[in-house]
Structure 1
Amino acid sequence: MVVEIILKTVHMKNIIALLVLSVVIGCAEKTPSILAQNSELCRSILINPEESYNHEYDLKLSIEDAGNNQYRLVSVIDFHNGAFTASPLSNNDFKGLFNIALKENDKVTMDDAFEEIPRSVEEIDWFGNFVNWVRELTTYKRTLNIKSQEDFKVSGMVSFTIEPTCTFEEIPFDVFYEDGKLWVQQYPKLDKSTCDIPVLWVSMYDSPLIDYDIAMKHPYDVEFKVEQRTDCQFKMVTEMKLHGGSFNVSPLTETGFKGKFRIEVAPNDDLTIGTELLEIPQSETVIDKHPFVNGPVNWVTEDTKYEHPLILHTQEDFSIGGKIIFVIEPKCTLETIGVLFKYKNGVL
Structure 2
Amino acid sequence: MLTDYKISIALCTYNGGEYLLEQLDSISSQSRLPDELVICDDCSTDSTVAIINGFRNRVSFKVNLFINQFQMGSTKNFEKAIGYCTGDIIFLADQDDVWNENKIQDIEMEFYRNSNLCAVFTNAEIVDQDLNFMGYDLWKSVGFSQKSQKEFDKYPERILLKQNVVTGATMAFRGELKKSLLPIHDNWVHDAWISIIVAVMKDKEIKALDKRLIKYRQHANNQLGALKKDIFSEIEISKNKNVKKGKNVDFLALIEFLKPKQKLLKREGLTQLTEKNRHLEHRNKLHPEIVVRVWKVFLEAMSGRYFRFSRGWKSILRDIRYR
Task: State the TM bucket, normalised to the shorter chain.
Answer: under 0.3
Structure holding more helix per residue: 2
Relative to its length, the structure with more strand (as a share) is: 1
Q: Which structure would you say has the larger Rg?
A: 1
Q: TM-score, normalising length from structure 1?
A: 0.21
Q: Greater relative contact order: 1 or 2 (C-alpha under 8 angstroms, separation 6 or more)?
A: 1
